[in-house]
Chain A
């Protein structure tokens, strides 16, 4: 079974400053990796996803994530945040192989980003 750890429960950041949200995962097989964003009182929206290839993945709204296989991490970054980026961000993984967790999306506990002027 896979697991996901988001290392920060809340990240306060000033507008136009950079932000990094940390995500580590563990699994006995290769995984698909995702970042989702949840704006207040809304559902989850896919920001970006990773399978293989280039370790830097670009997503929507100026976000990007870097995959590091040796550290089993998939950190999310944005070079300059806006007030509208205030939201909850979820890292998620799904096993590629046929394990008991195959096909299930396992979510981290979320990181709340609060952007202030």
Chain B
């Protein structure tokens, strides 16, 4: 199936740990994103990569580090996890460098991160 897939679906870990979330898209899109959805369902962009180049880097703690080995993969590594990092993290992709009518976002199913 063509899709944006991310793993794991659920991630429960303790404060201070380091964890990674992986994302892959087989849609042939050029740009991939990480969004964070908080407990009130608010969605906020974190990063985007276009062909392995970082193009959007919002105000995010530097404990969060995205890595894109190729344009089909975008991983998110989080160091020294804190309670406030608990959220659902969504990977997404778009055909073009920027979101537009012809290049809407396609989302993965999310990774629910719980930090205890």
Contacts and interface: CB of A to CB of B under 8 A. Distances in A.
A49 interface: yes
A44 B45 CA distance: 14
B40 A34 contact: no
Q: Which of under 10, 10 to 19, 20 to 34, or 35 or more describes the interface residues of B?
A: 20 to 34
B105 interface: yes
B41 A32 contact: no
A109 B37 CA distance: 10
B100 interface: yes
B98 interface: yes
B34 interface: no
A90 B44 CA distance: 12
Interface residues of A, number: 25
B41 A102 contact: no
Contacts of B104: 34, 46, 49
Contacts, number: 59
A86 interface: no
A103 B109 CA distance: 22
Majority SS at the chain A contact face: strand
Given A107-B42, A109-B40, A109-B41, A44 B107 contact: yes
19 contacts: A32-B101, A34-B104, A43-B90, A43-B107, A43-B110, A44-B92, A44-B105, A45-B107, A46-B104, A46-B106, A49-B104, A51-B101, A102-B98, A103-B56, A103-B97, A105-B99, A107-B43, A107-B44, A109-B40
Interface of B: 4, 40-45, 48, 55-56, 90, 92, 97-101, 104-110
> Considering the complex of A and B, which 10 residue pairs feature the smallest CB-CB distances, nearest first?
A103-B98, A43-B107, A51-B101, A107-B43, A43-B109, A44-B107, A94-B99, A110-B41, A105-B99, A32-B101
Interface of A: 32, 34, 36, 38, 41-46, 49-51, 88, 90, 94, 96, 102-105, 107, 109-110, 112
